[in-house]
Structure 1
Amino acid sequence: MTGKSLSRGGALFAGSRFPFSTASVLPGLLALAWHWAHFGAPPLVHSVLALGGILWLHLGANTLNDYFDWDQSDRINRFANKFSGGSRRFSHGILSRQAFLFMAIAFFSLALASGVVLIFLDRPMVLLIGGLGAAVGILYSTTPFSFVSRGLGELLIFFAFGPLITWGMGYVFSASFSWEYFLMGIPNGFAVTAILWINEFPDFEADSKSGKRNLVVRLGLKNARVGYILLILGFFLSVVTLSIMGVFPRWSLVALLLLPLAGLLSVRLWRGYTEPQRILPVQGGTIIFQALSSVILIASVWRLH
Structure 2
Amino acid sequence: MSITETWLGTARLPFLVFTPVCVLLGVVCAQAMQPVSPWAIALVLCGALGAHISVNAFNEVLDFRSGLDALTVKTPFSGGSGTLIAHPELVRSAWVLAYGSLLICVLVGIYFVVIQGFALLPIGLMGVTLVLAYTRAITRVPMLCLMAPGLGFGPLMVLGTQLALTGHTSIMAWVASLVPFFLANNLLLLNQFPDAEADRQVGRRHLVIVAGCAKAARWYAAQAALAHLCLITGVLTRTLPWGAAAGLLMLPLTITTARQVLIHAGDTTRLLPAMARNVQITLLTPTLMALGLWLT
Q: TM-score, normalised to structure 1's length?
A: 0.89
Deviation at residue 292 of structure 1 after TM alignment: 0.9
**Counterparts in 2 of 1:218-297, with a 5 A limit?**
218-297=210-289
State the distance in 1 between where 2:83 and 2:38 align.
38
State the distance in 1 between where 2:48 and 2:237 align.
27
1:82 aligns with 2:73: no
State the distance in 1 between where 2:65 and 2:44 align.
34
**Counterparts in 2 of 1:1-305, with a 5 A limit?**
4-5=1-2, 8-36=3-31, 38-72=32-66, 74-89=68-83, 92-93=86-87, 96-142=90-136, 146-151=137-142, 152-304=144-296
- Residue deviations 1:173-226, cap 9 Å, x none? 221233332221100111111100100100111112222001111110121110
Deviation at residue 122 of structure 1 after TM alignment: 4.0
Q: Secondary structure in 2 aligned to 1:85?
A: coil
Residues 148 and 213 of structure 1 are in contact (CA less than 8 Å); yes or no, is this contact kept in structure 2? yes
Range that drifts further, 255-264 or 283-292: 255-264
Kindly report structure 1 stretches of 4+ aligned residues shifted beyond 4 Å: none
Q: Secondary structure in 2 aligned to 1:20?
A: helix
Distance 1:73 1:185, change over 3 A: farther
Q: Secondary structure in 2 aligned to 1:265?
A: helix
Range that drifts further, 161-170 or 171-180: 171-180
Q: Match of 1:178, as an amino acid?
A: S
In angstroms, what is the RMSD of aligned CA positions?
A: 2.0
Deviation at residue 258 of structure 1 after TM alignment: 1.5
Residues 64 and 85 of structure 2 are in contact (CA less than 8 Å); yes or no, is this contact kept in structure 1? no
Deviation at residue 94 of structure 1 after TM alignment: 6.4
Identity %: 21
State the distance in 1 between where 2:9 and 2:35 align.
34
Structure with the larger helix share: 2
Range that drifts further, 198-207 or 66-75: 66-75
Give 5+ residue unaligned stretches, structure 2. Answer: none
Distance 1:39 1:122, change over 3 A: closer
Range that drifts further, 288-297 or 126-135: 126-135
Residues 161 and 188 of structure 1 are in contact (CA less than 8 Å); yes or no, is this contact kept in structure 2? yes
Q: Secondary structure in 2 aligned to 1:75?
A: helix
Range that drifts further, 246-255 or 119-128: 119-128
State the distance in 1 between where 2:53 and 2:89 align.
16
State the distance in 2 between where 1:50 and 1:165 align.
10
State the distance in 2 between where 1:234 and 1:73 align.
36
- Residue deviations 1:112-139, cap 9 Å, x none? 1212322343444333322211111111
Distance 1:103 1:173, change over 3 A: same
State the distance in 1 between where 2:115 and 2:152 align.
24
Residues 44 and 108 of structure 2 are in contact (CA less than 8 Å); yes or no, is this contact kept in structure 1? yes
State the distance in 2 between where 1:27 and 1:161 align.
6
Residues 158 and 193 of structure 1 are in contact (CA less than 8 Å); yes or no, is this contact kept in structure 2? yes
Residues 59 and 107 of structure 1 are in contact (CA less than 8 Å); yes or no, is this contact kept in structure 2? yes
State the distance in 1 between where 2:240 and 2:71 align.
42
Range that drifts further, 67-76 or 133-142: 67-76
State the distance in 1 between where 2:286 and 2:17 align.
9
Give 5+ residue unaligned stretches, structure 1. Answer: none
Distance 1:255 1:118, change over 3 A: closer
Between Structure 1 and Structure 2, how many residues are aligned?
295
Deviation at residue 232 of structure 1 after TM alignment: 0.8
Residues 69 and 79 of structure 2 are in contact (CA less than 8 Å); yes or no, is this contact kept in structure 1? no
